[in-house]
Amino acid sequence: MTDYSPGGWERSLDGLAEGLEADLPGRWGAAHCLQRVDSTNRRLLESSTLIPDRYEVCVAREQTAGHGRRGRAWLSSPDASLTFSVGRALWTGEAADPALSLAVGVGVARGLERCGFSGFGFKWPNDLVTADGAKLAGVLVEARAAREDRLAALVVGVGLNRVGADTLGVDRRVADLSQLPGSAEIALPDLLRAVLVELVRAWDGFARSGGLACVAEDYARLDYLRGRKITVLDTGEEGIAAGIDHGNGALLLRRPDGLKRLYSGEISVRVRGDD
């Protein structure tokens, strides 16, 4: 149950830092739990306390300027959505890698599965969708460059619909956790903790092993696009999705003239019949 009393929302997350520390000792920096912020991603991208070996967290009940890929606004509503970001500074010599959004997407999915949710998949390059393609969550990875006063860093933001997605006024099909098969009533702090821990495990695995091998099996299991006929937005190219290149996260598109690789960047794809 959400506590609506003044300060109640923040209080309900009082034990978050301790819970995270118990699950993954020594891996966490500050955890900011805010009633309202423009964007949790922006908040962490401006943080002066990001360091390479610990993940800092920002979770907000409400975002006034949440944003997603391709410059789109991310609409969410207090208590119906979960909006949070996690970030850390880059290690020396580490570069931002677009395939990270695939690894952390699998991490988010694993967290939801740990909480008993099922009936969803991962849609390359950054969405969790239901079995019929309605969007449940989006992942946004953003990078900042180094400056004199701060290290280069990466921030992963997640927007997850918990209930009432149909009231958000989004111009595409959306879904929420309450619509998933077997969905249990789960307290916000438990949900957040499970998702954060699995996200960071996947991020660590990706960064330390240098690629997607650590999530390959789950990616294949969760792959929403595989075998579907898709169209690349912007170019109109069509083909059948054939999994990903585990070396670089490119989407494999089977076309009459051969296999084509699509690199995530700003590309989005549409499944025929989904919209």
By C-beta, is 92 or 159 nearer to ligand BTN? 159
Quick check: 74 binds ligand BTN (CB under 6 A)? yes
**Least CB distance from residue 74 to ligand BTN, whole Å?**
4
Whether residue 125 is preceded by a cis peptide bond, meaning omega within 30 degrees of 0, is yes
Torsion of CA 190, 191, 197, 203, to 10 degrees: -170
Supply 69's token pair: 């890929």
Burial (CB count <10 Å: 0-12, 13-18, 19+), residue 245: middle
By C-beta, is 77 or 83 nearer to ligand BTN? 83
- How far out from the chain centre does Cα 104 lie? 6
- CA pair distance 267, 240, nearest whole angstrom: 16
Quick check: 140 binds ligand BTN (CB under 6 A)? yes
Supply 186's token pair: 């789960």
Buried b (16+ CB within 10 A) or exposed e, 192-206: bbbbbbbbbbbbbbb
- Interface characters, 165-194, with ligand BTN (x: CB under 6 A): ------------------------------
- How far out from the chain centre does Cα 142 lie? 11
Quick check: 87 binds ligand BTN (CB under 6 A)? no
Quick check: 77 binds ligand BTN (CB under 6 A)? no
Written as one letter, the residue type at 140 is L
Residue 203 three-state SS: helix
**Least CB distance from residue 255 to ligand BTN, whole Å?**
26
Q: Which residue is nearest to ligand BTN (CB)?
A: 138
By C-beta, is 136 or 152 nearer to ligand BTN? 136
Quick check: 130 binds ligand BTN (CB under 6 A)? no
- Interface characters, 10-39, with ligand BTN (x: CB under 6 A): -----------------------------x
Quick check: 133 binds ligand BTN (CB under 6 A)? no
**Least CB distance from residue 142 to ligand BTN, whole Å?**
8
Q: Considering only residues 223-252, where is the footprint of ligand BTN by CB under 6 A?
A: none
Asked whether 116 and 186 are in contact (CB, 8 A), the reply is yes
**Least CB distance from residue 226 to ligand BTN, whole Å?**
20
- CA pair distance 202, 205, nearest whole angstrom: 5
Residues of this chain that bind ligand BTN (CB under 6 A): 39-41, 63, 66-69, 72, 74, 83-85, 126-127, 138-140, 157-159
